[in-house]
Amino acid sequence: MKRTSIEPRRWLFPSALSAILAGSGLWYGLTGTPQTETGMAASVPSPSATLADSTGPSLGSSGKLATDNVAQGPEHAATPDSLGPQPFAASLSGTEIDGALTADENGELVINLQVRDFFDYFLSTVGEVSPETAIQQIEAMARTHLPEPASSQALTLLDEYLAYKQASLQVMQTRLDPARAGNPGYQLGALGDALAQLKQLRAATFSSETHQAFFGLEEAYSEYTLATLAIQQRTDLSDQGKQALVQWHRNQLPEQLRTTEQHLHASTRQQQARTAAIESASSPEAAGRQLAELGVNQDGVESVVSYLKQREQFNQRFQDFRKAMDQTDSSGLAEADLEKQRQALLERHFPQEQDRTWARLKMLGNG
């Protein structure tokens, strides 16, 4: 693990930390714009969500491969799962601590994604509590629950992570050229530049082992997303060609991400098929039969059929309501009397408040 001086540096960062945390995760924020432009359905999973049930390998400070995200067995020291009934920040009440700090059998800190998640769990409270308070809580947890040298290694790594947060602020503050902001090609180039800058910054801040453990999966998915966006922008490929290339890139993902992405892709295609079945069906009953053939369970089929029938009934009542409204509007009544008649018709045709709301929206052209 790369070493830095712990005590002098940790308190250099609280003044800038509030602003940094508000903008962290530039890549995730930027990907939304070009994905919208290209109609992509890709989403970037957070590291915690991706690895919630994973036991992917990571490297300890001694260079030894750690086979689990958290240590196994009573001989390993680790931070607790909870802060108890009265955490230092109200927003953490009732939550379990994301991630963990763990020492191996030699008392060395195990470096994996759980460490980054642990830091972020506490640092996410900045704004609710002071940066100093959040950092002090991390330090107290490390000192209390880890032996040496693991506790000092954790605080060294915290220094490096805070330094990275501070330096990444400049990257995160980069703005698109307003004149070209709507150009998908320009957006794609900006995304690539941002990813390259962040990777370079991480490599300069952390040891290679920590860099991979903290950001390896995130960067792999970012590069996959960048590739799929570029494929979608190409005009020389057929839809089948684009799908084949996207699938190839999907297959290059690390196993944890590949499995998750394949499930997401399959789920998206399944949902598209079910939506198409509903839209093309000639009746609610026909929609129900098609959904059953597509694997929707009986309760799901019945709820969809019931909803579609309710919408049919609503549409019929709305047509009757519109006819009555047209007759009233042509009756020659004064405006005040017309308004009373309109309200009376609305309540007569739509006794339920929710239906009246939908009717008003439909009259405005929104339903």
235 & 291 share domain: no
Total domain count, the chain: 2
CA–CA gap between residue 227 and residue 212 (Å, rounded): 20
207 & 328 share domain: no
End-to-end CA separation in angstroms for the chain: 59
| Token representation of residue 256 | 């944890």
Total residue length of the chain: 367
Element spanning 58, H or E = strand 58-59
| Token representation of residue 69 | 């995200």
In a domain, 31, yes or no: yes
In a domain, 276, yes or no: no
| Token representation of residue 264 | 């997401």
Whether the full predicted model's pTM is greater than 0.85, yes or no, is no
- Reported as a single tens digit per residue, the pLDDT across 36-89 is 333 333 333 333 333 333 333 333 333 333 333 333 333 579 999 999 999 999
13 & 53 share domain: yes
Count of beta carbons in the 10 Å neighbourhood of residue 81: 10
Name 92's bridge partners: none
In a domain, 333, yes or no: yes
Residue 78 sits in which domain range? Answer: 7-270
Coil, strand, or helix at residue 208?
Answer: helix
- Reported as a single tens digit per residue, the pLDDT across 267-326 is 777 888 888 888 888 899 998 998 888 888 898 888 888 888 888 888 888 889 888 888
Specify the higher pLDDT residue, 205 or 194. Answer: 205
* Phi, psi (rounded to 5 degrees) for 66: -95, 120
Q: Which of 218, 251, 270 is the last residue of a domain?
A: 270
